[in-house]
Amino acid sequence: MSISVVESDRFELMEKVAEKTMKGLGPGIIARELNITRVEVKNLQQDYRDALANDQEARDMARDYLNMMVKHYDGLINKFYELLDDMDTLDWNAAAAAQKAGALKAIAELDAKRVDALQKAGLLDSAELGDEIAKFEDEKALVLSVLTDLCTVCAPKVADRINRLQGKIMDPIEVFDE
């Protein structure tokens, strides 16, 4: 028996476990149905997750699904805003107010779900955060270069002011010229 046959048997079993997992079956039930141990089911589930995480095609497909989900949420939210515009033309009464409140609540829930999905995918604010960190690092390097170029009279004064900014009160530093 060659390694490829053994590996293909394992991958075939991994696919069966994944399929049953996606149907909502627990590890114990899957183990009984496939006549393997529960520990082996858990190992195969983890191997499947690891394989998907390292598979570029699967990642691209997940990104595509995420983009489709965002577009779908955008469409639903736009429909609710259109509904709100239509409700503004109606006479105000308790029923219209309840419908408007329901539409606003639905918009908020859809928006929250969309943001949550993007955050879980690690796509929200990551680009902006990276830009902010890069800008901060550049500014820090500039400030440090200015501080290292200070004369011997100015350096202690600047150090004292920095300490005050940080809430540290230090005794004045006396500088003696040689």
Residues 117-175 pLDDT 10s:
888 777 766 556 566 667 667 766 666 666 666 667 776 777 777 667 666 665 555 55
> What is the predicted pLDDT for the residue at 99?
83
Could you tell me which of 36, 39, 47, 37 has the C-alpha nearest to residue 14? 47
Measured between alpha carbons, how far is 18 from 25 in angstroms, rounded to an integer? 10
Least reliable range by pLDDT among 28-32, 88-92, 160-164: 160-164
What values do phi and psi take at 109, rounded to 5? -65, -45
**What's the whole-number mean pLDDT along residues 85-111?**
82
pLDDT at 2 over 50: no
Per the confidence metrics, is the pTM higher than 0.95? no
For the stretch 33-60, pLDDT in tens is 999 999 999 999 998 888 877 777 777 8
Count of CB atoms situated within 10 Å of the CB of 160? 16
